[in-house]
Chains A and B, each alone.
Chain A
Amino acid sequence: MADLKVTTFCVVTGASRGIGKEIAIQLAQKLGPNSSVQLVARNQQALEDTADKIRERVDGSVQVRCVAADLSNVESVTNANQEIFDNVKDISTFSHAILVHNAASLGDTSKYARELDDVDSLQKFCLLNMSGPISLTSAFFKVFGHGKDSLRKTVVQLTSDNGTTPYKTMHVYCMAKAGRDMFFRVMALEEPEVRILSYDPGAVDTDMFKQTLSSPDKDLVSTVGDISKQTYFLKPEQSAGALVKALEEDKYENATVVRAYDELGMKVD
Chain B
Amino acid sequence: MKMPLSLRVPTLGIVTGASRGIGRAIALQLAKRIGPSSSLYLTARSKQGLEETAHVISKEVNNNIDITCISSDLSNEKSATKLTDNLFGDLRKRKPDFSHAILVHNAATLGPLGKYSREVSDAGDIQNYCLLNITSPIVLTSLFLQLFGENSGLRKTVVQLTSRSGVLPQKTMHLYGMGKAARDMYFRVVALEEPQVKVMNFNPGFVNTEMFSGLQGSVDADFRASRIFLSEQSYFLKPEESAGAMLTAVEEDKFESGATVLSYDVMDIDITK
Binding site for B on A (CB under 8 A): 74, 77-78, 81, 112-120, 122-123, 126-127, 130-132, 134-135, 137-139, 141-142, 146, 163, 166-172, 174-183, 185-191, 255
- Distance of A119 Cα from B74 Cα, bound (Å): 11
Contact B182 A176 (CB under 8 A): yes
Contact of A117 among B121, B123, B124, B146 (CB under 8 A): B146
Minimum CB–CB distance for B40 against chain A, Å: 23
Minimum CB–CB distance for B166 against chain A, Å: 7
Contact B123 A112 (CB under 8 A): no
A-contacting 9-mer, from B4-12, B43-51, B186-194, B231-239? B186-194
B23 close to A (CB within 8 Å):
no
Contact A179 B169 (CB under 8 A): no
Minimum CB–CB distance for B165 against chain A, Å: 8
Minimum CB–CB distance for B183 against chain A, Å: 8
B100 close to A (CB within 8 Å):
no
Contact A167 B118 (CB under 8 A): no
The verdict on A175 contacting B193 (CB below 8 Å), with A134-B126, A146-B118 known, is: no
Contact of A183 among B127, B135, B178, B189 (CB under 8 A): B178
Contact A126 B135 (CB under 8 A): yes
Contact A179 B118 (CB under 8 A): no
Interface centre among B122, B143, B172 (most CB of A within 10 A): B122
Question: What 19 new A-B contacts, CB under 8 Å, besides A114-B190, A132-B123, A168-B192?
Answer: A118-B139, A122-B139, A130-B126, A134-B117, A135-B122, A135-B123, A138-B119, A166-B188, A166-B189, A168-B189, A168-B193, A175-B189, A179-B134, A182-B181, A186-B169, A186-B170, A186-B173, A190-B116, A190-B172
Minimum CB–CB distance for A161 against chain B, Å: 12
Contact A185 B145 (CB under 8 A): no
Contact A186 B117 (CB under 8 A): yes
Contact B131 A119 (CB under 8 A): yes
Contact of A191 among B118, B139, B145, B183 (CB under 8 A): B118
When distances are taken between beta carbons in the complex, the residues of chain A under 8 Å from B209 are none
Contact A180 B123 (CB under 8 A): no
B184 close to A (CB within 8 Å):
yes
Closest to A183 in B: B178
Contact B145 A114 (CB under 8 A): yes
A and B contact pairs by CB, cutoff 8 A, 29 listed: A74-B123, A77-B123, A112-B193, A114-B190, A114-B193, A119-B135, A119-B136, A130-B182, A131-B123, A131-B130, A134-B126, A134-B175, A135-B120, A135-B122, A138-B121, A166-B191, A169-B193, A175-B183, A176-B182, A182-B169, A182-B180, A182-B181, A182-B182, A183-B174, A185-B169, A186-B117, A187-B117, A188-B169, A190-B117
Residues of B79-118 contacting chain A, CB below 8 A:
80-81, 84, 116-118
B177 close to A (CB within 8 Å):
yes
Contact B127 A137 (CB under 8 A): no
Closest to A116 in B: B142
Closest to B179 in A: A179
- Distance of A115 Cα from B146 Cα, bound (Å): 8
Contact A119 B81 (CB under 8 A): yes
Contact of A171 among B117, B172, B186 (CB under 8 A): B186
Contact B177 A138 (CB under 8 A): no
When distances are taken between beta carbons in the complex, the residues of chain B under 8 Å from A74 are 123-124, 127
Contact A186 B192 (CB under 8 A): no
The verdict on A178 contacting B171 (CB below 8 Å), with A113-B193, A130-B126, A191-B118 known, is: no
When distances are taken between beta carbons in the complex, the residues of chain A under 8 Å from B66 are none
Contact A174 B130 (CB under 8 A): no
Closest to B177 in A: A182
Contact B123 A113 (CB under 8 A): no
Interface centre among A118, A131, A174, A179 (most CB of B within 10 A): A179
Closest to A169 in B: B193
Contact B146 A138 (CB under 8 A): no
Contact A113 B182 (CB under 8 A): no
- Distance of A188 Cα from B179 Cα, bound (Å): 17
When distances are taken between beta carbons in the complex, the residues of chain B under 8 Å from A166 are 185, 188-189, 191-192, 258
Closest to B119 in A: A138
Closest to A217 in B: B193
When distances are taken between beta carbons in the complex, the residues of chain A under 8 Å from B180 are 182
B63 close to A (CB within 8 Å):
no
Contact A181 B134 (CB under 8 A): no
Minimum CB–CB distance for A265 against chain B, Å: 29
Contact A170 B135 (CB under 8 A): no
When distances are taken between beta carbons in the complex, the residues of chain A under 8 Å from B247 are none
When distances are taken between beta carbons in the complex, the residues of chain B under 8 Å from A141 are 118-119
When distances are taken between beta carbons in the complex, the residues of chain B under 8 Å from A190 are 116-118, 171-172, 174, 220
Contact A116 B169 (CB under 8 A): no
